[in-house]
Chain A
Amino acid sequence: MIRAAKAMVRCLEKEGIKVVFGYPGAAICPFYDELYSSDIKHVLVRHEANAGHAASGAARITGKPAVCIATSGPGATNLLTAIATAYADSIPLICITGQVSTDQIGCDVFQEVDITGAAEPFVKYSYLIKDAKRLPEIFREAFYLAGTGRKGPVLIDVPVDVQNEMIDFSYPEEVKMRTYKPTVKGNPVQIKKICEAIEASEKPLICAGGGVFLADAKDELLKFAEKSGVPAVSTMMGLSLFPSDHPIYLGMLGMHGVKSANRAVNECDTMILIGARVGDRAVRSPSFLSQSKQIIHIDIDPAEIGKNIPVDIPLVGDCKSILAEMSEKITERDRSEWLNEVRAIKNDIAINEETEGFINPKAFLRKLSDRMPADTICVADVGQNQIWCCNNYAFKESGRFLTTGGMGTMGYSVPCAVGAKMAAPEREVVAVCGDGSFQMQMMELATIMQEKIAVKIIIMRNNKLGMVRELQTNGYGDRQIAVALDGSPDFVALAKAYGIESDRVTTMAEAEEKIEKLAASDKPYLLECNVYKLESTL
């Protein structure tokens, strides 16, 4: 017999968890007490949401569910934004929360909140453990649910008295669920049909999304695209699937995408959506698109098919095996005529005239990606900084881009970078954020310093909430309200106060030198970039 809290730790060990991100409190203390004698590394974040975002970063790099922990009540509610973020982006998380004692549930006692109820709309599944004996089985199920099918966050709420019960521990080998059986293998008849449709089409186009990463099918996608000769665009979540300079790759589509990609979407006769859900930022009027084109949609989640766009050929299944099969079946073909037609469209990104005392963020990010190692993980926050990254940071084949395209949660980049760096300490991790988003996460400088996590932080400082400012300028008669970030601190000095190396760049002339210093450092590093307040997104 062991304490259920010990069983929780054992479950995590059995799942191969090496690092967890969390914040303790009274209701989760038995678990922390058992963590004390475990080899699992605990990273103490400075806000529970960041525990979730850090776990998200780790999960996206390892491809496996990652773990975040919070206490009951406010700890758990602080975690909610991170859970919702992971849900929107289909990131596998195991979120463990402490709960008040079973006999007190429903009595509105100190730090009590119905967290399974509150999180219900944006978890893949949730558990409130009332019977300690079921704990090992529930943990096994939770990891299985989070990491299979369409991935997502699973919440496990454990009352403090349950954590203290004694149970027999054995970790189930298998998961037996009669209700949950995700379709993994694609229907061969549909695969054949899709290949024939692509072969019969003159101007096919691949649109690859974050689902391809989730299925670990990047190599299969590249192989298929290269063999079939079909040009490709990507969604924001699908960025870095293709190296930015790949001959068949046309860039990111959508509202903030590039001309070549959007023109290709417009001109194509067949669109092959792979692991992409046709979100509103990617395709504004899906029904308009489907009227003039044949739509092929490949997704692991049957509910995505036909949800946002009418589909001609649907295919449910894991795109790794599907793409491998399609690569085998498809005839090799040179489509350079169609490819050249769309490649001829140049993406003249407005390199605005340099304003004195400011860097050009677009040109700066191009320089940054030129200097950083090929396998660098670039994490973008939300706002103008995100779009600047999407369209200017040049990804190489082993590079990776992380951002929250679904929820668009400000304050994601630094904690996500922390998690990514913990999962891949040998790779460079750069977080790019704005001065608005940075101030939603700057408490994590302490975490970075405490654990000596050598992430590089770049702050695009324009003293504005730039994207909202632009929206107010263009859509609301330039009546700017609540977008000025006056009162922000000197971020260089702030970093120094934490003992983090930092610097500032104010002209493009010194950009290369400053980037070099950042890249050469093997410690945490913060670089503040002065950006003109009216710099445009595109």
Chain B
Amino acid sequence: MTKTITISPITRLEGHGKIDILLDDRGQVQDAYLQVVELRGFENFCVGRPVEELPRIMPKICGVCPGAHHMASAKACDAVYGVTIPGAAKKLRELYLCAHLAHSHLLHFFALAAPDFIPGSAAPKAERNLLGLIKTAGLDLGREVLRHRGYAQKIQGIIAGHPIHPVAALAGGMAKPITGEERGEIESMARSLARFAAQALDIFESKILVDPQNTDLFHDEAFALNTHYAGLVDEQGRVNFYDGTVRVVDPAGEQVAEFSADGYLDHLAEKVVPWSYLKLPYLKNVGWQGLTDGPASGVFRVNALARLNVADGMATPNAQSAYERFFVHFGHRPVHQTMAYHWARLIECLYAAERVVELAVDEEVLDTHVRTVPSNTPKEGVGVVEAPRGTLYHHYRTDARGIVTAVNLIVATAQNNAAINLSVKNTAKILIDGGEISDDLLNRVEMAFRAYDPCLACATHALPGKMALELTLYQHGKPLHRLRRDGT
């Protein structure tokens, strides 16, 4: 007879997911599953619309990373029409996406990740948030977080027409150029953002990483997963969020594939499992061996750690130094420690800010030729970008009039789904002994989940909400304990 621990949202509005942890008779962890609730009708909602509407609609499927969907959708539309966008448009889109990632990574670190370390996972629940962080680290830090979050959002607004509801990217390029004044404003904010990103990285390296309390999290084999990794790289093999080829490395770091967006179906397959509406993408050429890691398993990971693991380096100077420190610290590549996602995210945040500066001072971004009007007959296209949470694929088919006939999205959290299940299971195995659970334990299990910065919103084509969690321990099918945690 097994027991079941369920970590689930209070309502389906609040995150569309739950985690079930199954215990055996001795109270030891037998298995763990992340389950999500399906929302209906997404494909039907898109089919029948003019394809050029999708870059406007797609951002609305997720209030967390609308910018990434906006860009992937615009790229898919470019491909549907077989149009090459002007150089200025490409740079503006990349600049926008870098600001989007800097925004997301900064918020994730300070609002969600850092409070698990400062004040710490054992601190009272009410203090494990941004408020607790500034209570410990000071109000000035809080003001700087908010100021730079605002900068990253404002840059997105300048490029895309609105800071939250992007509209400017469309088939063939951008709807508008930027002015010299706007360029100056972007550059000034991005320079400040780069300085603050370096400061955030320093907080991580000088306080969190060296804290003896965190040593096991960052170094113990039990908190590692030996998976494959995938992410976009540019022509020199460096991390790039907007464009390039998807590179895949195996758990030993050997490159096993590199493909362009339209080849994704040759490399990725999706496993349907009876316990989840969220499919489990895996590497087709390696194969599905079940929920397991190792070189023979097609389970792979995306998001910041994966991007660093597949790339040969970073394209900006300070981020490159940080990248080198990262791999020197661990002494090997790829890095399999799940908590290293937090460090990788900050390195990427620095890269994103530096890259915005580079693009802002590039004279071409002021070119007013930002759109090539599509003239080919539309048919089919795939757009790929790196969203904050990992590689994002949009695949559209249309009829000859450009009316959508099919849509397929493969989002980042879905690609990490199998690994999240494994990490939660492994962490629970370490922490749950004899079926005893506590609030601290719940938080530590969540930390494994949180390292991936999962977003169940677009993973199920749903909306974001709080991932309020409820952990229930079952014995013989009946609940013994229930712990509730609100979604922040």
B and A form one assembly:
no
